[in-house]
Structure formats: C-alpha cells, structure tokens
Amino acid sequence: MTKKELLVNSLKLPRDTMLGASILTITGNREIWLENYKGILEYTPGQILLQAKTCQICIEGKRLSIDYYTNEDMKISGCICGIRYL
Amino acid sequence: MIEFLKFLKGYVCIRVSGFSPERFMNLCGNRNILLWNIRKEEDVYYMCLSIAGFYRLKPIVKKTGTKVAIVKRCGLPFFMPGMWKRKIFILGFLLAAAFWFQTSRYIWAIEIQGNFMITEDIMMDFLAENQVFTGMKKGKLNIEELEQNIRKEFYQVTWTSAKLEGTKLTIQIKENDLLDMEEAGKREDAMTASNLVAEQDGTVVSMIVREGVPQVTIGQEIKKGDVLVTGNVPVYQEDGTIRKYRYCNADADIVVQHVLPVKETLSLYYEKKNYTGREKKQYYLELFGKTIRFGKNKEPFRSCDSIESRNQLQLLRDFYLPVIYGNRTYREYYVEERKYTNEESKALIQDEYKKIVESLEEKGVQIIEKNVKIETNDLKWVLSGELTVQEKTGKNVAIEEQIFTDAEQSGEEVTEDE
C-alpha cells in the first residue's frame, strides 16, 4: 500500500478522485456508465480501449456503440462480453 | 425531455473519417463538446453534436487531420427557414390562433336550466334588458349582479347560479314549487280581518265553521258575493248589548249545491291535412347574429308546415362558436273537408264529456246528478244538459276598512252607553 493510499484510507477520502480510480457502473450486460478516464484509445464495434488515469480499460463485446461522450463520463451500450484492465 | 431540448436547439449528424478519429473524439471531450450516438461502420465514424459544437470543430479537425462531413441536420433551427417560405400557411396559422383567442372572449351560447314557470323567452328578454346577450364580451358580464337581478326580478326564484364555461353561460335557477300555497297563506296572514264570501250561486249543503260568525244556514239559497261567514265577532255585554267587535279571519268549509250547465258541440265536418309528400329544405347560416338564407326567402308552397332544426358549432365541450347552421323543412299539404261517421262522432263527443267530468273531479267537485243528452242534426252533434254538483265555496275578502269605522262607531256607542 502506497503512502497516498494509506492517507486516503485513514482520512476516508473518496478514492475515485484522490487515486484517480475509474468508476464503472454496469447494468446487466447491455450498458456501462464510465467516469474518470482520460480518453479513448481505440474504438471498434468489437472492443473499446480506454485510457484511465492509472491503467487501460478494455471493454469487449459485440455491436458496441457510444451513446454519449464527454470529458467526465460516457455511456456504452451493446452486448458486453468482458472487461479487462491492462 | 432531453430529446425535445435537443430538437429545439438543433443538432447535426456528422461522418468522421481519417487517420485517428479516437483522437478527434478525445479532443471534443476535452473542449466540452458533447457527442452522442457514436457508432462505427467499417472505417468511418458517425456521431451527433450540437450546432454550437459543430462551429467549434474547425481547430480540432485541423489538428487531427480528419475529415468531417454533415450527414443529417435535425431540429427546429433547420426546420424554421423552410417554414418561413410557406407564408400563407403561417399566416393562416396565426389568423386561426387570433380568431380562437378573439372569439373566446365573447359569450356565444346561453343555457337556462331548471325553469318551469318562467319560460325561456321571458328569461331571455330579461337577460337582454340587463345587457346579457349572445355575442357580448365576457369582461362586461358581472355574474354576481346578474344573479342578484334574477332573484330580484323573479320572486318565484329561490336560488340562482350563473357560471361561465368556455364561451357558454349557464344559468341554473330553482323555482319555488310551493309558491302558490305560500302566497295564499301570506295573503291570509296579511289580512287582519276578513269575511268569507260566496263564489257562486247555490244552496248550502253543509257547513263547518272554524272561525267567525256564520251568516247563512244549511238549506239556504245564496248568491255570488253573499257573505257566508263574517269576521266581525261581536262581544256582548251583560245586558245583551254589543260592547265591541273582535275581528278575525273567517274560516269555514262550506259546501254548496248548484246546477252546472254543460254544452258541447261537435261539427260533423272537419278539415283534414293531407300531406302530398312534397318537401323542400331551406338551409340557413347564422354568423355573429346575422342570418344568411340560401335559396328563396319565401314559403315554397301555398299551404305547408315547417320544421326547423338548429345546430351551433362547437369546438370543444364548452367552446361554442358564433356560427349556427340549420335547415327548415317545408311539407306541403292540402286541406280536405271530411265528415265524421256516426261512430266516430259519438266517441269524440263522449270523450269530450268525459274530459269535462274528469276536470271537475280533479277540482274536488262532487257530481250528484247528471242530466245530459246528445242530439244530432245534419250539421253537428250537440251535447247539452245539466250537472248537479256540490263543491266547496268561499273566498276571504278583507274588511280592513270597516275596522276603523266600526270601531269608532262602537266606541261612540260605548261612551253613550256609559
């Protein structure tokens, strides 16, 4: 555990803003809401690769589409098969 | 809701192609340009963004080296210029809106509910006198004053309610059913003293006097206008002289028997309307109180009946328009003189007789003896005869004026006596 993590834990600060962790909200296997990311690296109907602050997130599925995309959050819909952290 | 706002502000669907569309999207995100409905088809990306966002795309496009093309324009800002070309349509739309707005400021229908004794015509005349008519401005109507005026004008109205719904004025009234009885009661109450006076000639059959001094006896012949029971009740002194009069309302049930002549004639010949089956319809239109008739403005046949039907245009349930349309149907007939057969005329005249008897019984008249015969000649049937009936008689007539004179006289007498 790093010093920063210790500090956040002991002060009970929100982890997402302090550590730059991404938040994923998944409804079934159809929709994902994403917050805290830097940008899109790659987008194909089969996979979406996102750059988060500490890692990369790869969302795999079929017929993936981005319902909306802003600097803060985005929504992906389609048939989701898996999520990988790279 | 969001969809509607998007439509209101307008948006474009664009096609993005080139080296790195992902970078294009990231830059859009960084500059707070909202993108939605992003999808990839083969090598090109399709997405939607607002018009304001679209104008800010230029530096991004330059930086990323992508190509952007508009696929579809959506929303009101793109729709409106097309609309402006249709000037007549817009004019019509605006005029319709103005017409709607303007007509809704007037009263176009008046309905009266709950009236039995006061006919609709009387009520309408009264309303016209009070400046309430179809076609008046709503703003000029003072409902409370109108209600008050109705109650003031028509004493039999016990409750009124006027309400304005849309362009229709509904006036609900409640009439007093017991008015006649109450009126009679009031009249009696108003009199401090009254005599009971005969209403017709006859012989007194029975008498029950509740108040007053009877002036007639059973079996006595009376004439119309005779005093039956007087309200002057004398109060005697010990020596038998009248000390004073006490006044009261004479009250009694007096039944008189009298003879009621009956006569009814029935002509053997009568006129019958024979409809020829020829009909003619005349249409008319009433706009803002003015009538426009189509076709000839005369009765099309020499002798005819007419039936009128009338309809008022109505937009919603209570939004009446000042447009009334209808038609008048004329039905032609010719008059034929016909003669009743013996059976027919006999039945008719007996019917008439029955009606007379029934109407008498309804009034509480008792028929003691019937002496009626039916005669006929070539021209008519005549029913004549007499009915001996017994009925209640007596009407209260005030003796107020006598009070003072009598009282003075009696007063003088009293002083003389002393």
Mind listing the pLDDT tens digit of every residue in chain A (86 residues)? 788 888 888 888 877 777 778 889 999 999 999 988 888 998 988 999 999 888 899 999 999 999 999 888 899 999 999 999 98
pLDDT class of B373 with cuts at 50, 70, 90: confident
Tell me if A68 and B36 make a contact (CB, 8 A cut-off).
yes
pLDDT, tens digit (0-9, with 9 covering 90-100), for B78-95: 887 777 778 888 899 999
Question: In sequence order, which ranges of B70-160 are alpha helices (DSSP H)?
Answer: 76-85, 87-103, 120-129, 143-153
Mean per-residue pLDDT for B32-50? 89
With a CB cutoff of 8 Å and minimum separation 6, the contacts of B66 are: B16, B17, B18, B19, B20, B21, B24
Dump the DSSP string for B14-78: EEEESS-HHHHHHHHHHTT--EEEEEEETTEEEEEEEHHHHHT-HHHHHHHT-EEEEEEEESHHH
If you count residue pairs, one on A and one on B, with CB atoms under 8 Å apart, how many are there?
Answer: 53
pLDDT of residue B182: 55
pTM attached to this predicted model:
0.40
Lowest-confidence region among B97-106, B263-272, B389-398, B408-417: B408-417
Q: What backbone phi and psi angles, to 5 degrees, belong to B190? A: -65, -30
The pLDDT score that the predictor gives to residue B186 is: 55
Q: Which residues contact B62 (CB under 8 A, 6 or more apart)?
A: none
Nearest CA of chain B to the CA of A71: how many Å? 4
Query: Is A40's CB within 8 Å of B26's CB?
Result: yes
When CB atoms are compared, the residue of B28, B32, B37 closest to A67 is B37
Compute CA distances B297 → B266, B284, B292, whole Å.
39, 10, 10
CB-CB neighbors (< 8 A) of B37 in chain A: 65-68
Please determine, for residue B403, whether its predicted confidence score (pLDDT) is greater than 70: no
Q: Nearest Cβ partner of A45 from B22, B25, B40? A: B40
Give residue B404's pLDDT.
44
Contact indicator for B253, B298 with CB cutoff of 8 Å: no
Structure-token match 């003896």, residue found? B369
Mean pLDDT of chain B: 83
Q: What is the pLDDT of residue B179?
A: 54
Res B383 pLDDT > 80 = yes
How far B65 CA lies from chain A's nearest CA (Å)? 17
- Residue B46 has a pLDDT of 92
Contacts of B26 in chain A (CB under 8 A): 38-40
Tokens describing residue A81: 């098969």
Q: In this predicted model, what pLDDT tens digit does every residue of B196-235 receive, in sequence order?
A: 888 888 889 888 988 888 888 888 888 888 888 888 888 8
Cβ–Cβ < 8 Å for A40, B22: yes
**What pLDDT is attached to residue A60?**
93
Rg (CA), chain A: 14
Residue B96, min C-alpha distance to chain A (Å): 41
Calpha distance B103→B206 (Å, rounded): 70
Give residue B188's pLDDT: 55
pLDDT for position B185: 56
